[in-house]
Structure 1
Amino acid sequence: MSFEQLRLIEPVLKALENEGYTAPTPIQQQAIPYVLEKRDLLGCAQTGTGKTAAFAIPLLQLMHQDQSAVRKGPRNIRALILTPTRELAIQIQESFVAYGKFLDLKSLVIFGGVSQHPQTEALKKGVDILIATPGRLLDLISQNYITLRDIKYFVLDEADRMLDMGFVHDVKRVIIKLPEQRQTLFFSATMPPEIQTLANAILKNPAKVEVTPVSSTAETITQSVYFVNKQDKRSLLLHILKDQSIRTVLVFTRTKHGADKVVKDLNKAEITAEAIHGNKSQNARQRALNNFKSQQTRVLVATDIAARGIDIDDLTHVINYELPNVPETYVHRIGRTGRAGANGIAISFCEGEEKAYLKDILKLIARDIPVVTAQPFHNGDSLSAPVIAPPSQKKPQHPRNKKGGFSHNRQGHVTPRHQKDSGKGQPAHGHGQQRQKQKQTSN
């Protein structure tokens, strides 16, 4: 399917062509027609599926068609996109600017952690589309800089992350201030009960689209796991980064302190690296992100919340320096690469105390992950890993029970015992392989 078949107007098609986009992703194919029909939408889609373009493109078209040939009076906010993090808000605004390049529509992004003066001055000049984080939005509403009375289009993005970050109460406060008559688009990677309840409360007869459930990982991502002792992780990372064909690497740690330590070690080894996490100022975080995008910085080290919303073209590698303790987070992490049909590589380090996390990840994604043993820091003891019991069975009481545990098949994959004959993983080698990119929207 082409964008032309989605009945998009010429200025939008021209902007997409200008960006080099040729074919819509599955969620765009499903969502855009519903949005253009002015229906409420419930979208279950994770990062990297193209969901930003799935709502930005049709909203720009609707807003362009709504406005009269001659504008009367000042610009009033007609579309509100509510998102959990500053980084994601900035990414979304960049998308609106790109796709609306040939339309007379003004967008603005507001978020906390920086001076509000430039934001309030921009608001005074008039804005059509506002992208905001909940805290700063409510703050500026309380100061009478913002009114939501003219909102016709409301997008709640990454609703499950709103819940994770404790923003649901603020979201509800915003919703109360919205006009009853509006079009609402609701996106979430997962649908826990509280999020489902919220969706039911604010959507009216919504169309439903679902693409790439959170438990699945993209086939375009080559995954591998490196068993290593904790004290050898730094050396293993430096060993991998000797491969100069690895141009951009996003490294994940579980803690802010851990991120700073990895950056210090890399810089000491003369590898350009910066950290992005909650203790950094907004300006420092944005500077680090811009340096990484422009490849002035080779390695960006991030914690999970800080990384949500990072959308970088041509990101070749993701490395889990520390495995996440929430298995769904693994899917979100590695989804930063292999986007929009491009190839990507995800490498995970696993030391003894993280074996339980690996077990949970394998159960969630229901596939095997190749084990790299041809590396100088391989820990031979790591082969006796924790038990993985089939969901329908009780977990064996002892990790050495011969009916449980990880098995290694002939290709060297680590596999849930009950799935070892069904895995389709590929041998993990050539982590510097060249990506073959099919250019599509990936926001």
Structure 2
Amino acid sequence: MLFTDLGLSESILRAINEEGYTSPTPIQAKSIPAVLKGGDLLAAAQTGTGKTAGFTLPILQRLISAPVTGSGKRVLRVLILTPTRELAAQVQESVVTYGKYTGLKSTVIFGGVGANPQIKAIAAGLDILVATPGRLLDLMSQNCVSLSAIEILVLDEADRMLDMGFLRDIKKILAALPKKRQNLLFSATFSTEIKALADGLLNAPELIEVARSNSANEAIAQLIHPVDRNQKHPLLAHLIKTNQWQQVLVFTRTKHGANKLVTQLEKDGITSMAIHGNKSQSARTKALADFKAEKITVLVATDIAARGIDIDQLPHVVNYDLPNVSEDYVHRIGRTGRAGSNGVAVSLVCVDEHEMLRDIEKLIKQKLPQEVIVGFEPDPNAVAQPIQLRSQQHQQSRKPRTGGGSSEGGRKPAAKRTGAPKRSFNR
């Protein structure tokens, strides 16, 4: 199947072609026709398979096929909610890229930056608004944005929004929307919580699931390196230098751990930057841009930023710490092996994390291969120690939000749950 088979306009197909894409991914091939029909949709696919285009392309098509006439001013017709700033920016980039010949206007709003430019962009008139829940509610409380004419609502990465404690905010936003609208719920998993949300939100939805929930992309080679906890940093530096890795995304469990690892790697002569919720938005944007441009070798991230990191042909992902929520393992390693390319996901596992590893293997229904690196053999007599799941600083950041519009603080913590020339389109 080609994009030309899906009923998209010439203006949209022109933009797709300019990006070098010809064929839709399975989730796109199924979701684009479903969205164009106008009904509600519940869709799940492995991360990195192109869910964003699965809703942006048909939404653009629907808007240009049924333009609003008479008022002379643009009316906000589409609201796309995402859990993190990085993901919001990524979705907005997709809307701009593939809508550039349609004449439609969009903007993105999120916390961590000044609200005035966002307020001005909304006041100038929009067709599509991409937002994180916190900043949207703040602007709604200031009467800076009206949702009274919304025709299409998208909840992107809905499972992550629930994990981050956004359910209350989502319900407040839903209450401000027209009753008659199209609802699109996209998720990497079909958890019990997602199904409960869908039951209360969607009206006779079409169900699309292109891969088994919580399964890892088969294009990703997964490997476990057993190691003592105090040898993780030396082992990581050894792997990067010995294998001459040029672009490595590394996940840590805490913000403090991310900052500490960056300092250690820089001392080893390995260029690194960190991205997490305590970093300013400008610092996060610069770190991600430098990493994409390969100006730095290592980007160290916490799970808060995992869903918004979309890098074509990223070769290596390293779990420096295993996640305490098993599903996050799938999302982390899904940053590689995208758009049909192959990827490698390495996990450094100490004795403290053996239970976490068992939970992950149970979730993905496979035993992960293990390889001990010579010189970094773990002590067979080592005793497991309790894992500090979050730093004191992290705990403070999870207190109820009092304002400011940040999309990443003030949410309850999640409960623990165990390049080809003709590329596929994954944006």
TM-score by length of 2: 0.88
Output aligned runs, 1:17-28, within 5 Å: 17-28=17-28
User: Residue 190 of structure 2 contacts residue 213 of structure 2 at CA under 8 Å; is this kept in 1?
Assistant: no
Answer yes or no: is the 8 Å Cα contact 2:80–2:153 preserved in 1: yes
Name the counterpart of 1:120: 119
For 1:185-196, list aligned pairs within 5 A.
185-196=184-195
Distance 1:383 1:20 in 2: 52
Structure 1 residue aligned with 2:413:
none
Q: Which residue of 1 aligns with 2:275?
A: 276
**Alignment partners' CA distance in 1, 2:196 and 2:334:** 27
| Alignment partner, residue 85 of structure 2 | 86
Q: Which residue of 2 aligns with 1:432?
A: none
Q: Quick one: which amino acid aligns to residue 105 of structure 1?
A: L
The 1:352/1:288 distance shift into structure 2, 3 A limit, reads same
Give 1:213 deviation, angstroms.
3.2
Give the Cα–Cα distance (whole angstroms) in 2 for the partners of residues 287 and 370 of structure 1: 35
With over 3 angstroms needed to count, the CA separation of the structure-2 counterparts of 1:210 and 1:437, relative to structure 1, is: farther
- What is the aligned length? 393
Corresponding position of 1:328 = 327
Structure 2 alignment gaps of length 5 or more: 385-418
What are the Cα deviations for residues 213-254 of structure 1, in whole angstroms up to 9, with x where unaligned?
Answer: 342111100111111111111111111111464221100011
State the one-letter code of the partner of 2:16: L
What does residue range 345-384 of structure 1 map to in structure 2 within 5 Å? 345-379=344-378, 381=380
Equivalent-residue separation in structure 2 for 1:381 and 1:214 (angstroms): 35
Bigger relative contact order, structure 1 or 2, given CA contacts below 8 A and separation 6+?
2
Larger radius of gyration: 1
Q: Which moved more, 1:41-50 or 1:215-224?
A: 41-50
CA distance in 1, matches of 2:191, 2:257: 30
User: Partner residue of 1:43?
Assistant: 43
1:254-297 residue CA offsets vs partner (Å, 9 max, x unmatched): 11111111100111112111111111111211111111111112
Amino acid at match of 1:204: N
Is the CA contact 1:227–1:382 (under 8 Å) kept in the aligned structure 2?
no
Structure 1 letter corresponding to 2:45: A
CA apart distance, 1:357: 1.1
Deviations 1:12-33 (A, max 9, x none): 1111111111211110011110
Work out whether residues 227 and 349 of structure 2, in 8 Å CA contact, stay in contact via their aligned partners in 1. yes
Q: Does 1:144 align with 2:143?
A: yes
3-state secondary structure, aligned to 2:120 = helix
Kindly provide the CA deviation profile for residues 375-403 of structure 1, in whole angstroms up to 9, marking residues without a partner as x: 33132639999xxxxxxxxxxxxxxxxxx
SS at match of 1:339: coil
Query: Which letter does structure 1 place at the counterpart of 2:318?
Result: I
Give the 5 Å matches for 1:11-410: 11-67=11-67, 72-243=71-242, 245-379=244-378, 381=380
- Other structure's SS at 1:27 match: helix
8 Å CA contact 2:82, 2:131 repeated in 1: yes
2:194 & 2:360 partners in 1: Cα distance?
A: 23
Contact 1:24 / 1:440 at 8 angstroms: preserved in 2?
yes
- Please list the CA deviations of residues 87-144 of structure 1 after superposition, one character each: whole Å capped at 9, or x if unmatched: 1100000000111121100110001111101101111111110000111111111111
Paired-residue identity, %: 54
Quick one: distance in 2 between partners of 1:101 and 1:375?
A: 53
CA contact (8 A) 1:189 1:213 kept: no
Q: Work out the CA distance in 2 between the residues paired with 1:92 and 1:102.
A: 17
Native 8 Å contact 2:222 2:346 kept in 1: yes
Q: Cα RMSD between the aligned structures?
A: 2.0
Match of 2:389 in 1: none
- TM-score by length of structure 1 reads 0.85
- How far apart in 2 are the matches of 1:372 and 1:102? 51
Cα pair 1:28 1:54 within 8 Å, conserved: yes
CA contact (8 A) 2:122 2:144 kept: yes
**2-structure distance, mates of 1:38, 1:360:** 39
CA–CA separation in structure 1 for the residues paired with 2:197 and 2:329: 26
User: How big is the shift at 1:191?
Assistant: 3.3
Distance in 1 of aligned mates of 2:152 and 2:381? 52
Tell me which amino acid in the other structure corresponds to 1:160: D
1:441 is aligned to: 425
